[in-house]
Structure 1
Protein backbone atom coordinates (compact mmCIF):
# COMPACT_ATOMS: atom_id res chain seq x y z
CA UNK A 1 0.00 0.00 0.00
CA UNK A 2 2.88 2.36 0.85
CA UNK A 3 4.59 1.58 -2.43
CA UNK A 4 1.37 2.18 -4.39
CA UNK A 5 0.83 5.48 -2.59
CA UNK A 6 4.42 6.54 -3.28
CA UNK A 7 4.07 5.64 -6.97
CA UNK A 8 0.80 7.58 -7.15
CA UNK A 9 2.45 10.67 -5.63
CA UNK A 10 5.38 10.29 -8.02
CA UNK A 11 3.05 9.98 -11.02
CA UNK A 12 1.07 13.07 -9.99
CA UNK A 13 4.30 15.02 -9.50
CA UNK A 14 5.49 13.92 -12.94
CA UNK A 15 2.22 14.99 -14.54
CA UNK A 16 2.45 18.40 -12.88
CA UNK A 17 6.06 18.87 -14.03
CA UNK A 18 5.29 17.65 -17.57
CA UNK A 19 2.57 20.26 -17.92
CA UNK A 20 5.06 23.01 -17.02
CA UNK A 21 8.24 24.18 -18.73
CA UNK A 22 10.61 22.05 -16.68
CA UNK A 23 13.49 20.68 -18.76
CA UNK A 24 13.72 17.12 -17.45
CA UNK A 25 15.02 15.14 -14.49
CA UNK A 26 18.55 14.92 -13.16
CA UNK A 27 18.41 11.13 -12.79
CA UNK A 28 21.82 10.92 -11.10
CA UNK A 29 20.89 13.42 -8.39
CA UNK A 30 17.47 11.82 -7.87
CA UNK A 31 18.95 8.33 -7.62
CA UNK A 32 21.58 9.54 -5.16
CA UNK A 33 18.75 10.98 -3.04
CA UNK A 34 16.73 7.74 -3.25
CA UNK A 35 19.78 5.72 -2.23
CA UNK A 36 20.30 7.94 0.84
CA UNK A 37 16.60 7.61 1.68
CA UNK A 38 16.83 3.81 1.35
CA UNK A 39 19.74 3.75 3.84
CA UNK A 40 17.77 5.93 6.29
CA UNK A 41 14.69 3.70 6.11
CA UNK A 42 16.46 0.35 6.40
CA UNK A 43 19.27 -0.98 8.55
CA UNK A 44 21.10 -1.86 5.34
CA UNK A 45 24.01 0.20 4.01
CA UNK A 46 23.55 1.46 0.46
CA UNK A 47 26.18 3.48 -1.37
CA UNK A 48 25.89 5.59 -4.50
CA UNK A 49 28.59 6.09 -7.13
CA UNK A 50 28.42 8.29 -10.22
CA UNK A 51 29.62 6.62 -13.42
CA UNK A 52 31.49 8.22 -16.30
CA UNK A 53 33.08 11.59 -16.73
CA UNK A 54 30.35 13.09 -18.91
CA UNK A 55 27.54 15.03 -17.26
CA UNK A 56 24.20 13.30 -17.49
CA UNK A 57 21.70 15.41 -19.45
CA UNK A 58 18.20 15.97 -18.07
CA UNK A 59 16.04 12.95 -18.90
CA UNK A 60 12.40 13.41 -19.99
CA UNK A 61 10.04 12.96 -17.04
CA UNK A 62 8.10 9.96 -18.33
CA UNK A 63 11.33 8.07 -19.08
CA UNK A 64 13.02 9.12 -15.82
CA UNK A 65 10.00 7.98 -13.80
CA UNK A 66 10.27 4.44 -15.17
CA UNK A 67 14.07 4.28 -14.84
CA UNK A 68 13.97 5.51 -11.24
CA UNK A 69 11.11 3.17 -10.35
CA UNK A 70 13.15 0.23 -11.67
CA UNK A 71 16.14 1.24 -9.55
CA UNK A 72 14.01 1.83 -6.45
CA UNK A 73 12.25 -1.51 -6.90
CA UNK A 74 15.63 -3.25 -7.29
CA UNK A 75 16.78 -1.80 -3.94
CA UNK A 76 13.54 -2.79 -2.23
CA UNK A 77 13.66 -6.30 -3.76
CA UNK A 78 17.19 -6.75 -2.45
CA UNK A 79 16.10 -5.82 1.06
CA UNK A 80 12.92 -7.92 0.89
CA UNK A 81 14.26 -11.10 -0.72
CA UNK A 82 18.06 -11.36 -0.84
CA UNK A 83 19.33 -10.85 2.73
CA UNK A 84 22.30 -8.76 1.51
CA UNK A 85 24.88 -7.02 3.70
CA UNK A 86 24.99 -4.00 1.36
CA UNK A 87 23.55 -2.47 -1.79
CA UNK A 88 25.68 -0.62 -4.36
CA UNK A 89 23.91 1.83 -6.68
CA UNK A 90 25.57 3.58 -9.60
CA UNK A 91 24.40 5.79 -12.46
CA UNK A 92 25.81 7.95 -15.21
CA UNK A 93 26.69 8.18 -18.86
CA UNK A 94 28.94 5.43 -20.20
CA UNK A 95 29.73 5.67 -23.93
CA UNK A 96 26.59 7.67 -24.74
CA UNK A 97 24.34 5.34 -22.75
CA UNK A 98 22.66 6.16 -19.47
CA UNK A 99 23.54 3.23 -17.22
CA UNK A 100 21.86 2.57 -13.89
CA UNK A 101 23.00 -0.37 -11.79
CA UNK A 102 21.75 -1.74 -8.49
CA UNK A 103 23.87 -4.56 -7.07
CA UNK A 104 23.37 -6.46 -3.83
CA UNK A 105 25.60 -9.15 -2.33
CA UNK A 106 22.66 -11.29 -1.25
CA UNK A 107 21.68 -14.83 -2.13
CA UNK A 108 20.82 -14.05 -5.76
CA UNK A 109 18.24 -15.60 -8.03
CA UNK A 110 17.90 -19.37 -8.12
CA UNK A 111 19.77 -20.87 -11.07
CA UNK A 112 17.63 -21.26 -14.17
CA UNK A 113 15.03 -18.67 -13.12
CA UNK A 114 13.03 -17.32 -16.06
CA UNK A 115 10.56 -14.47 -16.36
CA UNK A 116 7.81 -16.96 -17.08
CA UNK A 117 8.62 -18.84 -13.84
CA UNK A 118 8.41 -15.58 -11.90
CA UNK A 119 5.16 -14.60 -13.61
CA UNK A 120 3.53 -17.98 -12.84
CA UNK A 121 4.67 -17.79 -9.21
CA UNK A 122 3.16 -14.32 -8.80
CA UNK A 123 6.51 -12.53 -8.37
CA UNK A 124 5.83 -9.46 -10.45
CA UNK A 125 8.64 -7.16 -9.22
CA UNK A 126 11.23 -8.34 -11.73
CA UNK A 127 8.61 -8.86 -14.42
CA UNK A 128 7.46 -5.27 -13.88
CA UNK A 129 11.04 -4.01 -14.19
CA UNK A 130 11.44 -5.76 -17.53
CA UNK A 131 8.11 -4.38 -18.76
CA UNK A 132 8.99 -0.84 -17.64
CA UNK A 133 12.40 -1.06 -19.35
CA UNK A 134 10.77 -2.22 -22.58
CA UNK A 135 8.27 0.63 -22.42
CA UNK A 136 11.09 3.22 -22.53
CA UNK A 137 13.26 1.36 -25.05
CA UNK A 138 15.90 0.41 -22.49
CA UNK A 139 17.92 -2.78 -22.18
CA UNK A 140 17.78 -4.51 -18.81
CA UNK A 141 19.90 -7.32 -17.43
CA UNK A 142 19.07 -9.06 -14.18
CA UNK A 143 21.47 -11.59 -12.69
CA UNK A 144 24.90 -12.00 -11.13
CA UNK A 145 26.77 -10.25 -13.91
CA UNK A 146 30.49 -10.55 -13.15
CA UNK A 147 30.00 -11.01 -9.41
CA UNK A 148 30.45 -14.35 -7.68
CA UNK A 149 27.16 -13.93 -5.81
CA UNK A 150 24.25 -11.56 -5.42
CA UNK A 151 22.16 -9.84 -8.06
CA UNK A 152 22.68 -6.88 -10.35
CA UNK A 153 19.85 -5.06 -12.06
CA UNK A 154 21.44 -3.06 -14.88
CA UNK A 155 19.45 -0.67 -17.03
CA UNK A 156 20.98 0.85 -20.16
CA UNK A 157 19.23 3.55 -22.15
CA UNK A 158 20.54 5.07 -25.37
CA UNK A 159 20.66 8.86 -25.08
CA UNK A 160 20.42 9.02 -28.88
CA UNK A 161 17.10 7.13 -28.77
CA UNK A 162 15.82 9.86 -26.45
CA UNK A 163 16.90 12.53 -28.92
CA UNK A 164 19.54 13.80 -26.52
CA UNK A 165 22.82 15.13 -27.90
CA UNK A 166 25.15 12.12 -27.93
CA UNK A 167 26.79 10.02 -30.67
CA UNK A 168 25.11 6.69 -30.07
CA UNK A 169 24.50 3.60 -32.15
CA UNK A 170 21.78 1.95 -30.07
CA UNK A 171 21.29 -1.76 -29.80
CA UNK A 172 18.39 -3.02 -27.71
CA UNK A 173 18.46 -6.80 -27.51
CA UNK A 174 15.76 -8.68 -25.68
CA UNK A 175 15.80 -8.48 -21.86
CA UNK A 176 17.99 -11.09 -20.23
CA UNK A 177 17.98 -12.97 -16.99
CA UNK A 178 21.41 -14.40 -16.33
Structure 2
Protein backbone atom coordinates (compact mmCIF):
# COMPACT_ATOMS: atom_id res chain seq x y z
CA UNK A 1 0.00 0.00 0.00
CA UNK A 2 1.42 3.40 -0.96
CA UNK A 3 1.98 6.20 1.52
CA UNK A 4 -0.64 8.40 -0.21
CA UNK A 5 -3.28 5.67 -0.10
CA UNK A 6 -2.55 5.04 3.58
CA UNK A 7 -2.82 8.75 4.26
CA UNK A 8 -6.23 8.83 2.55
CA UNK A 9 -7.50 6.00 4.74
CA UNK A 10 -6.60 7.80 7.99
CA UNK A 11 -9.33 10.36 7.36
CA UNK A 12 -12.27 8.36 8.70
CA UNK A 13 -14.04 10.09 11.57
CA UNK A 14 -15.67 13.39 12.45
CA UNK A 15 -12.48 14.92 13.85
CA UNK A 16 -10.15 16.17 11.16
CA UNK A 17 -6.88 14.37 10.74
CA UNK A 18 -4.51 17.29 9.99
CA UNK A 19 -2.42 15.23 7.55
CA UNK A 20 -5.49 14.08 5.61
CA UNK A 21 -7.07 17.54 5.69
CA UNK A 22 -3.87 19.03 4.25
CA UNK A 23 -3.85 16.39 1.50
CA UNK A 24 -7.44 17.27 0.60
CA UNK A 25 -6.78 21.02 0.52
CA UNK A 26 -3.64 20.44 -1.56
CA UNK A 27 -5.69 18.27 -3.94
CA UNK A 28 -8.31 21.02 -4.17
CA UNK A 29 -5.59 23.55 -5.05
CA UNK A 30 -4.24 21.20 -7.74
CA UNK A 31 -7.70 20.62 -9.25
CA UNK A 32 -8.27 24.38 -9.37
CA UNK A 33 -4.92 24.95 -11.08
CA UNK A 34 -5.53 22.22 -13.65
CA UNK A 35 -9.28 22.45 -14.31
CA UNK A 36 -10.19 25.94 -13.13
CA UNK A 37 -13.31 26.82 -11.19
CA UNK A 38 -15.63 25.40 -13.84
CA UNK A 39 -13.93 22.00 -13.61
CA UNK A 40 -13.71 21.96 -9.82
CA UNK A 41 -15.77 19.30 -8.05
CA UNK A 42 -15.68 17.34 -4.81
CA UNK A 43 -15.42 14.15 -6.92
CA UNK A 44 -12.25 15.43 -8.62
CA UNK A 45 -10.76 16.44 -5.27
CA UNK A 46 -11.62 13.05 -3.73
CA UNK A 47 -9.93 11.22 -6.62
CA UNK A 48 -6.86 13.42 -6.41
CA UNK A 49 -6.55 13.13 -2.60
CA UNK A 50 -7.53 9.44 -2.54
CA UNK A 51 -10.15 10.35 0.05
CA UNK A 52 -13.80 9.46 0.29
CA UNK A 53 -16.42 12.04 -0.63
CA UNK A 54 -18.22 11.45 2.72
CA UNK A 55 -15.02 12.41 4.57
CA UNK A 56 -14.66 15.61 2.55
CA UNK A 57 -18.32 16.53 3.13
CA UNK A 58 -17.97 15.75 6.84
CA UNK A 59 -15.19 18.32 7.15
CA UNK A 60 -16.42 20.79 4.51
CA UNK A 61 -20.23 20.75 4.16
CA UNK A 62 -20.14 22.17 0.64
CA UNK A 63 -17.87 22.77 -2.32
CA UNK A 64 -17.91 26.46 -1.41
CA UNK A 65 -16.70 25.74 2.14
CA UNK A 66 -13.72 23.81 0.75
CA UNK A 67 -12.98 26.58 -1.75
CA UNK A 68 -13.05 29.19 1.00
CA UNK A 69 -10.50 27.14 2.92
CA UNK A 70 -8.32 27.00 -0.20
CA UNK A 71 -8.74 30.75 -0.58
CA UNK A 72 -7.85 31.41 3.06
CA UNK A 73 -4.82 29.18 2.82
CA UNK A 74 -3.53 31.16 -0.15
CA UNK A 75 -4.38 34.56 1.25
CA UNK A 76 -1.41 36.55 2.49
CA UNK A 77 -2.48 40.16 2.78
CA UNK A 78 -0.56 42.42 5.14
CA UNK A 79 -2.61 44.72 7.35
CA UNK A 80 -0.40 47.81 7.82
CA UNK A 81 -0.05 49.53 11.17
CA UNK A 82 1.38 52.92 10.19
CA UNK A 83 -0.12 54.93 13.03
CA UNK A 84 -2.51 56.65 10.60
CA UNK A 85 -5.93 55.19 9.75
CA UNK A 86 -6.04 56.51 6.19
CA UNK A 87 -2.65 55.02 5.39
CA UNK A 88 -3.58 51.75 7.13
CA UNK A 89 -6.80 51.30 5.14
CA UNK A 90 -5.29 52.43 1.83
CA UNK A 91 -2.29 50.15 2.35
CA UNK A 92 -4.56 47.23 3.16
CA UNK A 93 -6.64 47.81 0.01
CA UNK A 94 -3.52 48.12 -2.14
CA UNK A 95 -2.17 44.86 -0.71
CA UNK A 96 -5.52 43.12 -1.20
CA UNK A 97 -5.84 44.27 -4.81
CA UNK A 98 -2.28 43.11 -5.55
CA UNK A 99 -3.00 39.71 -3.98
CA UNK A 100 -6.21 39.24 -5.97
CA UNK A 101 -4.52 40.43 -9.16
CA UNK A 102 -1.25 38.49 -8.85
CA UNK A 103 -2.47 35.11 -7.54
CA UNK A 104 -5.32 32.71 -8.36
CA UNK A 105 -7.13 33.88 -5.21
CA UNK A 106 -8.93 36.69 -7.02
CA UNK A 107 -10.50 34.26 -9.48
CA UNK A 108 -11.45 31.86 -6.69
CA UNK A 109 -13.14 34.56 -4.65
CA UNK A 110 -14.88 36.13 -7.68
CA UNK A 111 -16.27 32.70 -8.58
CA UNK A 112 -17.44 32.09 -5.01
CA UNK A 113 -19.31 35.40 -5.01
CA UNK A 114 -20.94 34.48 -8.32
CA UNK A 115 -21.94 31.02 -7.11
CA UNK A 116 -23.38 32.48 -3.91
CA UNK A 117 -26.01 34.27 -6.02
CA UNK A 118 -27.71 30.98 -6.89
CA UNK A 119 -26.47 28.47 -4.30
CA UNK A 120 -27.60 28.74 -0.67
CA UNK A 121 -24.70 26.71 0.70
CA UNK A 122 -22.21 28.93 -1.13
CA UNK A 123 -24.03 32.02 0.17
CA UNK A 124 -23.90 30.69 3.75
CA UNK A 125 -20.20 29.83 3.49
CA UNK A 126 -19.41 33.24 2.03
CA UNK A 127 -21.45 35.02 4.72
CA UNK A 128 -19.61 33.13 7.47
CA UNK A 129 -16.25 33.97 5.93
CA UNK A 130 -17.22 37.63 5.49
CA UNK A 131 -18.25 37.90 9.13
CA UNK A 132 -14.75 36.91 10.22
CA UNK A 133 -13.11 39.25 7.71
CA UNK A 134 -15.35 42.11 8.88
CA UNK A 135 -13.99 41.69 12.41
CA UNK A 136 -10.43 41.41 11.14
CA UNK A 137 -10.64 44.63 9.11
CA UNK A 138 -12.46 46.30 12.00
CA UNK A 139 -9.34 45.84 14.12
CA UNK A 140 -7.69 48.66 12.15
CA UNK A 141 -10.56 50.93 13.14
CA UNK A 142 -10.30 49.86 16.79
CA UNK A 143 -6.55 50.62 16.75
CA UNK A 144 -7.33 54.08 15.38
CA UNK A 145 -9.90 54.59 18.15
CA UNK A 146 -7.24 53.73 20.73
CA UNK A 147 -4.94 56.34 19.13
CA UNK A 148 -7.72 58.94 19.29
CA UNK A 149 -8.05 59.23 15.49
CA UNK A 150 -11.59 57.84 15.31
CA UNK A 151 -14.57 58.80 17.45
CA UNK A 152 -15.33 56.26 20.18
CA UNK A 153 -18.92 55.71 18.99
CA UNK A 154 -17.97 54.76 15.41
CA UNK A 155 -19.10 51.22 14.52
CA UNK A 156 -15.94 49.50 13.26
CA UNK A 157 -18.03 46.83 11.52
CA UNK A 158 -19.86 49.36 9.36
CA UNK A 159 -16.58 50.98 8.34
CA UNK A 160 -15.21 47.51 7.51
CA UNK A 161 -18.31 46.89 5.34
CA UNK A 162 -17.72 50.14 3.45
CA UNK A 163 -14.10 49.18 2.78
CA UNK A 164 -15.14 45.66 1.76
CA UNK A 165 -17.79 46.95 -0.63
CA UNK A 166 -15.18 49.13 -2.36
CA UNK A 167 -12.83 46.13 -2.60
CA UNK A 168 -15.50 43.71 -3.83
CA UNK A 169 -16.72 46.14 -6.51
CA UNK A 170 -13.18 46.34 -7.87
CA UNK A 171 -12.78 42.56 -7.73
CA UNK A 172 -16.09 41.82 -9.44
CA UNK A 173 -15.50 44.39 -12.19
CA UNK A 174 -11.87 43.24 -12.60
CA UNK A 175 -10.49 46.69 -11.79
CA UNK A 176 -7.66 45.62 -9.53
CA UNK A 177 -5.12 47.99 -11.07
CA UNK A 178 -6.45 51.05 -9.22
CA UNK A 179 -3.58 53.40 -8.41
CA UNK A 180 -2.60 54.46 -4.90
CA UNK A 181 -3.98 57.98 -5.33
CA UNK A 182 -7.47 56.71 -6.22
CA UNK A 183 -7.45 54.25 -3.32
CA UNK A 184 -6.37 57.00 -0.91
CA UNK A 185 -9.13 59.27 -2.19
CA UNK A 186 -11.79 56.60 -1.60
CA UNK A 187 -10.44 55.93 1.90
CA UNK A 188 -10.41 59.65 2.62
CA UNK A 189 -14.14 59.83 1.82
CA UNK A 190 -14.79 56.99 4.27
CA UNK A 191 -12.61 58.40 7.02
CA UNK A 192 -13.44 62.10 6.69
CA UNK A 193 -16.99 61.86 5.35
CA UNK A 194 -18.56 63.82 2.52
CA UNK A 195 -20.51 66.47 4.42
CA UNK A 196 -19.64 70.06 3.60
CA UNK A 197 -17.78 71.74 6.43
CA UNK A 198 -18.96 75.18 7.51
What is the TM-score normalised by the length of structure 1?
A: 0.31
Point out the structure with max Rg over C-alpha.
Answer: 2
What is the TM-score normalised by the length of structure 2?
A: 0.29
Task: Flag the structure with higher helix content.
Answer: 2
Task: Flag the structure with higher strand content.
Answer: 1
